[in-house]
């Protein structure tokens, strides 16, 4: 009788855990679609605790890498290189914005407007950990709500678009990168203005999909955010076309892209402290802001 009871109790425990997991998934999915703040408070504590832990565990790796880069490989050159890269990235960004404005309208006034528009506050953040699941591509950042980082804010690096903040706690944020299979970004080819969707493919990089058959896409073309989805600002570099597939009988074609950002070496990013219009609408009623954002644009 006792064994029977304990079996029943065990079955009930399993059923309860499965039910909790399933309900959590449904609620989480709903919060992603509506932008509601439905994540329980304890999740923020876990996220906050993860940052110092990840930093601590990664410390030996970081020290080894820094030692090699700064002292063994090239003394001082690394610092100079870093400064020059930052400068180059700023100039590239300026150049890109100017070209965008010129292509879009041809009016110089637009350039000034665009510069103003792009001149939004950014918060530098350090990448302290990557996704613990091999099937997803999120990263953990060491900035959270106390630094003004909220769900739905775009994340960039000096090379281009990194992703989108999907959940925040007081001192940490989780960001889904463009490599994630759930990510979709409305994009355009800078040269020809052909539009499509950039989707993540995990380890296989990113793909430019749903490009109209016959659209002008060539190897080497730069693909940038179109800004039409209302999630990301216009003109952020996403990647460069490495191959264009033959559409065959299909109405759309797709192209493989090499991401502009080297995610394997990503250490520091910038969170744009302004949400796009779509994200603003999605999260407008939200106070605590801990719910993930809708992945697509």
Partner 1 sequence: MKRVLGLLGLGAVALTLQGAVAAFLPARFCPDLSFLLVVALGLCWRSAVGGVCVSGAIGFVTDLLSGSLLGQHALLRLAAHALARLGNRHLSLRGMLPQAIFVAVLTCANAFAMALITSFFSPGSAVAGIAVRELLPQALANALLAPLVIALTARTVARLGDEDGGQRVLPLSPRGRIA
Tell me which residues touch partner 1 (CB under 8 A). 10, 13-14, 17-18, 20-25, 27-29, 32, 39, 43, 46-47, 50, 53-54, 57-58, 61, 127, 129-138, 140, 166, 174, 176, 180-182, 184, 199-204, 264, 295-296
**Is the separation of the CB atoms in 37 and 162 below 8 Å?**
no
From 273, 35, 8, 23, select the one nearest 143 (Cα to Cα). 273
Q: To the nearest whole angstrom, how small is the minimum distance from the Cβ of residue 118 to partner 1?
A: 28
Q: To the nearest whole angstrom, how small is the minimum distance from the Cβ of residue 281 to partner 1?
A: 20
Q: To the nearest whole angstrom, how small is the minimum distance from the Cβ of residue 275 to partner 1?
A: 19
How many C-beta neighbours within 10 Å does residue 273 have? Answer: 15
Q: To the nearest whole angstrom, how small is the minimum distance from the Cβ of residue 32 to partner 1?
A: 8
CA distance 96 to 91: 8
Nearer to partner 1, 58 or 102 (CB): 58
CA distance 18 to 15: 5
Nearer to partner 1, 13 or 88 (CB): 13
**Is the separation of the CB atoms in 216 and 206 below 8 Å?**
no
For the stretch 261-265, contacts whose Cβ atoms lie closer than 8 Å and that sit 24 or more positions apart, written own/partner, are 261/157, 261/159, 261/160, 261/161, 261/162, 261/178, 262/159, 263/137, 263/162, 263/177, 263/179
CA distance 180 to 293: 14
Q: To the nearest whole angstrom, how small is the minimum distance from the Cβ of residue 45 to partner 1?
A: 10
From residue 33, alpha-carbon distances to 20, 41, 73 in Å are 20, 20, 48
Q: Which helix (H) or strand (E) element contains residue 82? A: helix 77-104
Nearer to partner 1, 210 or 270 (CB): 210
Nearer to partner 1, 106 or 135 (CB): 135
Nearer to partner 1, 96 or 279 (CB): 279
Nearer to partner 1, 230 or 296 (CB): 296
Q: To the nearest whole angstrom, how small is the minimum distance from the Cβ of residue 11 to partner 1?
A: 11
CA distance 150 to 147: 9
């Amino acid at each position: 009788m006792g064994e029977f009871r304990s079996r029943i109790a065990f079955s009930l425990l399993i059923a309860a855990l499965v039910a909790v997991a399933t309900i959590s998934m449904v609620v989480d999915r709903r919060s992603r679609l509506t932008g509601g703040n439905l994540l329980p408070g304890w999740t923020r504590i876990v996220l906050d605790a993860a940052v110092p832990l990840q930093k601590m565990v990664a410390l030996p790796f970081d020290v080894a890498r820094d030692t090699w880069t700064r002292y063994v490989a090239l003394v001082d050159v690394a610092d100079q290189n870093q400064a020059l890269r930052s400068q180059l990235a700023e100039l590239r960004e300026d150049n890109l914005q100017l070209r965008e404005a010129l292509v879009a309208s041809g009016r110089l006034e637009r350039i000034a407007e665009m510069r103003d528009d792009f001149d939004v506050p950014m918060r530098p953040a350090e990448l302290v950990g990557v996704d613990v699941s091999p099937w997803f591509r999120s990263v953990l950042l060491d900035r959270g709500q106390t630094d003004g980082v909220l769900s739905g804010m775009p994340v960039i690096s000096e090379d281009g678009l990194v992703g989108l903040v999907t959940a925040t706690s007081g001192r940490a944020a989780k960001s889904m990168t463009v490599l994630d299979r759930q990510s979709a970004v409305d994009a355009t080819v800078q040269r020809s203005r052909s539009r499509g969707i950039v989707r993540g493919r995990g380890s296989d990089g990113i793909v430019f999909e749903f490009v109209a058959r016959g659209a002008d896409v060539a190897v080497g073309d730069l693909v940038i955010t179109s800004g039409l989805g209302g999630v990301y600002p216009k003109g952020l570099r996403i990647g460069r076309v490495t191959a264009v597939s033959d559409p065959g009988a299909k109405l759309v074609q797709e192209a493989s892209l090499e991401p502009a950002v080297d995610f394997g070496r990503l250490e520091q990013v910038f969170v744009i402290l302004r949400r796009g219009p779509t994200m603003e609408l999605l999260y407008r009623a939200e106070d605590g802001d801990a719910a993930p954002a809708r992945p697509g644009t």
